Amino acid sequence: MSAICGFLNVRKPAGMTSSDVVEEVRSILGERCGHAGTLDPQAEGVLVIGVGPARKFISYLAGDKEYEGVMLLGMESDTLDSSGTMTLPRRPVTASPDKIRETGADLVGTIDLAVPVYSAVHVGGRRLYELARSGVPVSPPVRPAVIHALEILEICLPPHDRASRVRFRVRCAPGTYVRALTAEWGRRLECGAVLERLTRTRSGPFAIERAITLDKLRELAGTDGVRGVIVPADDALAHLPRASFDDSGARRLRQGQAVPAPGGFEAGSLVRLVLADGLIGVGRVDSDGKHPIVLRPERMISEG
């Protein structure tokens, strides 16, 4: 079977790191791979993996994410989820369902969230989780997060001797830690909260309904069935305008040369560059106001 170039929508199981899944896919397919956005080990759901040369285009994928999660109220932990060490005694939950909904609505928009201490973000050349595990005191960076929508699916507030839970759905920009979002939700409710379960249901155009399990991928390994679950890079980048080229134009682009831009493109915009048999790269429209608008290659697939 010839080399594969495209994207794989994998249903990551809970208990595996994203890197573990990437390594497993690499082993199954015999191709170099990379993921388009980490999922925490205890989370499950959509993990988009670039296979072969398509790895070059991971940063160009449409980015919004959607998750369904469950948070536990009245608790706080060092990891911001239920797998960590509880840092405060369990507290009573006095907020009403209406208050929980109102507070959730206030989180929609751009908000500042502290990056979880147990995360892979680099601080001073080391990952935060490495510093945390070694006992090094660290102040996690605070970053803006964009929450497009936050929908409460269910609120369960039983008697005080049982855990209070909120099931929710959130749509957010890339880089949002849902653990940090629920921790902030709990802080505003003055009782604390930790994330109990999390499923990524969508990453850009990749939905969980079409995700493939690792077991199913193993069944398809070495057969033509693998091609049926690989999303061609051209399709995955369909949100970018398309410019087609003949062999001569493609050759120039692959050599790093700019080519005249077809009409209708705005200066500064990204464009997917296509030859008859599929995507060959991504370019950017360029103009200095004096010369004709051109396309300059940014990422290209080598010929062959």
Predicted confidence (pLDDT) at residue 2 exceeds the cutoff of 70 = no
> What is the average pLDDT across 70-98?
92
- What architecture does CATH give domain 242-300? Roll (2.30)
CA pair distance 33, 230, nearest whole angstrom:
13
Active site residue 277: no
Report percent pLDDT > 70 for the chain: 97
Q: Do strands 164-172 and 33-35 pair parallel, antiparallel, or not at all (unpaired)?
A: unpaired
| pLDDT in the model for residue 210 | 96
Q: Is CATH 3.30.2350.10 the right assignment for the domain spanning 65-203?
A: yes
Residue 292's identity, in one-letter code, is P
Judging by DSSP bridges, how do beta strands 142-156 and 6-12 pair with one another? unpaired
Of the candidates 100, 175, 106, the one whose C-alpha atom is nearest the C-alpha of residue 144 is: 175
> Rounded to the nearest 5 degrees, what angle is found at the Cα of 222, between the Cα atoms of 1 and 62?
80
Tokens in use for 129?
């989780």
pLDDT computed for residue 291 by the predictor: 62
Secondary structure of the chain in HEC code, one letter for each residue: CCCCCEEEEEEECCCCCHHHHHHHHHHHHCCCEEECCCCCCCCEEEEEEEEHHHHHHHHHCCCCEEEEEEEEECCCECCCECCCCECCCCCCCCCCHHHHHHHHHHCCEEEEEECCCCCCCEECCEEHHHHHHCCCCCCCCEEEEEEEEEEEEEEECCCCCCCEEEEEEEEECCCCCHHHHHHHHHHHCCCCEEEEEEEEEEECCEEHHHCECHHHHHHHCCCCHHHHHEEEHHHHCCCCCEEECCHHHHHHHHCCCCEECCCCCCCCCEEEEEECCEEEEEEEEECCCCCCCEEEEEEECCCC
Confidence of residue 1 (pLDDT cuts 50, 70, 90): very low
Task: With a cut of 80, say whether residue 242 has pLDDT above it.
Answer: yes
Give the residue, 121 or 24, on which the prediction is more confident: 24
Instruction: Give the alpha-carbon dihedral of 33, 37, 41, 42, to 10 degrees.
Output: -130
How is the chain split into domains, by residue range?
Answer: 6-61+206-236, 65-203, 242-300
Q: How confident is the model at residue 256 (pLDDT cuts 50, 70, 90)?
A: very high
Decide if pLDDT at 288 tops 70.
Answer: no
Is 165 a residue whose pLDDT tops 90? yes
Residue 184 has pLDDT above 80, yes or no: yes
Rounded-to-integer distance, Cα 262 and Cα 269, Å = 13
Average per-residue pLDDT in the chain? 91
> At 304, is the pLDDT very low, low, confident or very high (cuts 50, 70, 90)?
low
Using the predicted structure, report yes or no on whether residue 167 has a pLDDT greater than 80.
Answer: yes
Place of tokens 């388009």: 36
Whole-number Å distance between alpha carbons of 187 and 181: 10
Mean pLDDT of 100-118: 94
Give the fold, CATH level 3, of 6-61+206-236.
Pseudouridine synthase (3.30.2350)
Q: d(Cα 222, Cα 28) in Å, to the nearest integer? A: 9
Q: What is the pLDDT of residue 198?
A: 98
pLDDT above 90 coverage of the chain, percent: 69
User: pLDDT, tens digit, for every residue of 8-61?
Assistant: 999 999 999 999 999 999 999 999 999 998 899 999 999 999 999 999 999 999
Q: Do domains 65-203 and 242-300 have the same CATH topology?
A: no
- Catalytic choice (20, 40, 215, 288): 40
Taking residues 259-264, what's their average pLDDT? 82
Over residues 229-258, the mean pLDDT reads 92
Choice between 224 and 234, residue whose per-residue pLDDT is larger: 234
251 backbone dihedrals φ, ψ, rounded to 5°: -65, -45
Q: Find the mean pLDDT for residues 224-246.
A: 92
Whether the pLDDT of residue 241 is over 90: the answer is yes
